């Protein structure tokens, strides 16, 4: 998965066991059809205000409700929906008949747009919010759900999607679909990582405040002159690095984060021009002058950073959540080689289910007021909408609502209990050896579409997702996604042509100026930057966002 830059849009992204595609959100765990399900689809046959129990036998329910589903499929992987036992289990449980129309995943968007243009819209469709959904919704393509989604009639949906997210998803003040992210949802995905053994050497607890962190860095510098107290941030090999990402925790403790727009009572601004950003830069400048920050933070390449990290020359850094497992293993490998307990070319076995041995992961450092900000991705990227031509929109909404019960989500996400996964002593274990790697079928010749027929928006995360991961991945993601100081960019889902045209230029100017200041430049450069930011497109962006905000709210 690609690691976001400061303007993080995590699709979430289910970063380890599930893959993502451009249209479909997250992929499968052990299913045979790549799990690239693009058109969201539904669940049980109940009234618009569902009262039937999820466990109610389909034999006493009404005739199964047929749902047409445009399903994105990796055509290079064997799959036959008629032989998919998970699909059959979902149909039986929810008293629904899913009629999938298979389309190659690479052609999904083209096919969907053709259907939208011709009026042949599937009963339930998952569609990109950013462009297509906002184009089609005002034209009457989807059912207006504004008066149908509420705490009384759709409690499962409301549990999954907060009211404020529905507000962001409105088009002309109306709700035309259910926001969908896929996988474990959007959120903060970074940890502050420190060497546990180095903390122990200076007799320090894991810092919780910026002041405690600063004192720990100074002690590390004094006790271990060859170690850099604060390095850069870990990324993918070859990724363009934005140096200011290295200091999320410092910026956050001052209540700002580079690049994010803010909104207060309809008025917009940006943290880049916030006076608190100036204070944060002065603090970073002080840290840099005292030798607490890697002198190469602005230019170091990822391979060089990893070499420092693995060899023990870094005490702390910002890390993408999924990197900690490998880094801990690499540090252990180097330590064993130095102690001559491991050959230079020897490799350790998989450590992912072992506790971390050398690394400590923690969340945001808080500032003097006890708070912080942690920049999370956009809360959704797609919408699950009901076709205006479907025969019974209220029943379809009820199906979606019923599918989002905790019990039914276990089925749609993880498959059949006792087969695709098991629960022992309250712990979930996902089966990984059911399918033949060539045929993608189980021993009975069945396909198993786990995470292939999902109804869940995924904004709250797949149920028991952390349990599905190896220990280290689970712990690292847990720290990141449960950071209580997460905030979103207020400009998400708003229209601003100037933002599209000018934001890259403004961000490049910001990164250059901020880096200069951190490395000792005159702080007056910040005031000059603010004026240039405003005059070179920033003020126009703010004005356009405010107007778009009014239109979206239907004001």
Total residues belonging to the chain:
555
pLDDT the model gives residue 448: 96
pLDDT band at 30 (very low <50, low <70, confident <90, very high): very low
Neighbours of 553 (CB within 10 A): 12
Question: Left if phi > 0, otherwise alpha if psi is -120 to 50, otherwise beta: which for 153?
Answer: alpha
pLDDT of residue 132: 87
Tell me what the mean pLDDT of segment 364-386 comes to.
94
Beta bridge partners of 84: 447
Contacts of 114 (CB under 8 A, 6+ apart): none
Per-residue confidence (pLDDT) for residue 246, from 0 to 100 = 85
CA dist., res. 126 & res. 100, Å (int): 13
Ranges of beta strands (E only) in 27-77 are: 65-73
Residue 445: what are its φ and ψ, rounded to 5°?
80, 15
Task: Annotate 292-317 with b (16+ C-beta within 10 A) or e (fewer).
Answer: bbbeebbebebeebbebbbebebbbb
Distances, alpha carbon 185 to alpha carbons 5, 179, 182, 273, in Å: 18, 11, 6, 30
What pLDDT band is residue 62 in, cutting at 50, 70 and 90?
confident
Task: Return the structure tokens found at 329.
Answer: 């293993």
Q: At 204, give phi and psi (nearest 5°).
A: -115, 145
What pTM does this model have? 0.82
Going by C-beta distance under 8 Å and a sequence separation of 6 or more, which residues neighbour residue 222?
none
- The mean pLDDT of 260-271, rounded to a whole number, is 96
pLDDT tens, position by position, 513-527: 999 999 999 999 999
The residue that leads in pLDDT, 221 or 14, is 221
How many CA within 13 A on the CB side of residue 113? 10
Question: Quick one: pLDDT at residue 23?
Answer: 31
Selection from 75, 50, 35 nearest residue 396 by Cα: 50
Mean pLDDT of 299-304: 84
Which domains, ranges and CATH numbers included, belong to the chain?
65-185+379-465 (3.40.190.10), 190-375+494-553 (3.40.190.10)
Instruction: Specify the DSSP class assigned to residue 133.
Output: I
CA distance 359 to 355: 10
Q: What average pLDDT does this structure show over 270-288?
A: 98
Contact 27, 379 (CB under 8 A): no
Query: What pLDDT does 554 receive?
Result: 76
Q: Which of 277, 265, 269 is nearest to 539 (CA)?
A: 269
Across the chain, mean pLDDT equals 86
Give residue 26's pLDDT band: very low, low, confident or very high (50, 70, 90). very low
CB-CB contact of 180 with 41 (8 Å): no
pLDDT category at 61 given cuts 50, 70, 90 is: low
Query: For 418-463, how does the pLDDT look when each residue is reduced to its tens digit (9 = 90+)?
Result: 999 999 988 899 998 999 999 999 999 999 999 888 888 888 889 9
Given this model, what pLDDT does residue 421 score? 96
Of 216 and 57, more confident: 216
CB count in 10 Å sphere of residue 129: 22
> Is 256 buried (19+), middle (13-18) or exposed (0-12) by CB count in 10 A?
buried
Residue 10 pLDDT > 50: no
**Distance separating alpha carbons of residues 471 and 357, to the nearest angstrom:** 12
In this predicted structure, which of 124-138, 280-294, 368-382, 499-513 has the lowest mean pLDDT?
Answer: 124-138
Say which residues have a Cβ less than 8 Å from residue 75's Cβ, sequence separation at least 6.
102, 104, 105
Judge whether residue 199 has pLDDT over 80. yes
% of the chain exceeding 70 in pLDDT: 87
Cα gap 255→214, rounded to integer Å: 17
Q: Assess whether pLDDT exceeds 50 at residue 44.
A: no
Of the listed ranges 27-31, 240-244, 357-361, 527-531, the one predicted with least confidence: 27-31
The residue written with tokens 């039914």 in the block is 408
- What does the longest C-alpha to C-alpha distance in the chain come to? 76
The residue-averaged pLDDT of 465-492 equals 94
Question: Cα separation of 361 and 206, whole Å?
Answer: 9
Distance CA 182, CA 55 (A): 25
Euclidean distance between the first and the last CA atom of the chain, given in angstroms as a whole number: 39
Contact 257, 364 (CB under 8 A): no
Q: Pick the range with the lowest mean pLDDT from 43-57, 146-160, 231-245, 427-441.
A: 43-57
The predicted pLDDT at position 54 comes to 39
The phi, psi pair for 202, rounded to 5°, reads -100, 10
Cα 202 to Cα 199, 217, 315, distances in angstroms: 5, 10, 12
What is the C-alpha R_g of the chain? Answer: 25
As a whole number of angstroms, the distance between CA 296 and CA 230 comes to 11
Of the ranges 49-58, 114-123, 309-318, 523-532, which one carries the lowest mean pLDDT score?
49-58
What is the band of 36 on the pLDDT scale with cuts at 50, 70, 90? very low
């Amino acid at each position: 998965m690609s690691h976001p830059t400061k303007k993080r849009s995590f699709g979430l992204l289910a970063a380890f066991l599930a893959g993502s595609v451009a249209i479909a959100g997250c992929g499968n765990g052990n299913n045979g059809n790549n799990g690239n399900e693009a058109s969201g689809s539904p669940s049980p046959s109940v009234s618009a205000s569902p009262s039937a129990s999820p466990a109610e036998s389909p034999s006493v329910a009404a005739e199964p409700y047929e749902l047409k589903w445009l399903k994105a499929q990796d055509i290079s992987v064997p799959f036959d929906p008629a032989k998919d036992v998970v699909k059959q289990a979902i149909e039986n449980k929810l008293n629904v008949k899913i009629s999938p129309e298979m389309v190659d995943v690479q052609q999904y968007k083209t096919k969907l747009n053709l259907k939208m243009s011709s009026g042949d819209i599937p009963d339930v469709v998952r569609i990109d919010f950013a462009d297509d959904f906002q184009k089609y919704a005002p034209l009457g393509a989807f059912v207006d759900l504004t008066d149908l989604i509420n705490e009384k009639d759709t409690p499962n949906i409301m549990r999954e999607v907060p009211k404020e997210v529905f507000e962001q998803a409105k088009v002309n003040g109306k709700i035309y679909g259910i926001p969908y992210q896929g996988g474990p949802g959007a959120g903060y995905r970074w940890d502050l990582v420190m060497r546990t053994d180095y903390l122990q050497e200076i007799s320090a607890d894991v810092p919780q405040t910026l002041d405690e962190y600063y004192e720990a860095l100074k002690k590390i510098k004094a006790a271990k002159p060859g170690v850099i107290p604060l390095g850069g941030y870990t990324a993918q090999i070859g990724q363009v690095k934005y140096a200011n990402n290295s200091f999320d925790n410092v910026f956050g403790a001052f209540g700002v984060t580079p690049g994010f727009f803010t909104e207060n009572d309809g008025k917009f601004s940006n943290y880049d021009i916030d006076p608190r950003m100036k204070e944060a830069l002065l603090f970073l400048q002080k840290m840099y002058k005292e030798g607490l920050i890697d002198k190469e933070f602005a230019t170091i390449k990822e391979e060089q950073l990893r070499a420092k990290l693995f060899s023990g020359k870094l005490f702390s850094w910002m890390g993408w959540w999924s990197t900690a497992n490998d880094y801990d293993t690499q540090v252990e490998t180097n330590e064993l080689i130095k102690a001559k307990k491991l050959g230079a070319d020897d490799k350790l076995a998989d450590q992912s289910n072992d506790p971390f041995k050398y690394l400590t992961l923690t969340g945001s450092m808080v500032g003097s007021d006890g708070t912080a900000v942690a920049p999370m991705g956009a809360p959704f990227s797609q919408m699950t909408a009901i076709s205006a031509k479907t025969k019974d929109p209220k029943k379809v909404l009820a199906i979606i609502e019923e599918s989002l019960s905790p019990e039914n989500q276990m089925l749609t996400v993880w498959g059949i209990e006792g087969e695709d996964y098991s629960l022992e002593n309250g712990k979930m274990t996902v089966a990984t050896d059911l399918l033949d790697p060539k045929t993608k079928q189980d021993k009975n010749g069945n396909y198993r579409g786990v995470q292939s027929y999902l109804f869940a928006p995924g904004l709250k995360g797949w149920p028991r997702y952390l349990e599905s991961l190896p220990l280290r991945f689970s712990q690292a993601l847990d720290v990141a996604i449960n950071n209580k100081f997460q905030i979103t960019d207020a400009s998400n889902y708003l229209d601003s042509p100037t933002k599209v045209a000018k934001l890259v230029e403004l961000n490049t100017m910001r990164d250059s100026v901020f880096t200069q200041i951190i490395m000792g430049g005159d702080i007056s450069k910040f005031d000059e930057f603010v004026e240039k930011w405003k005059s070179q497109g920033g003020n126009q962006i703010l004005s356009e966002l405010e107007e778009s905000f009014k239109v979206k709210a239907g004001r």
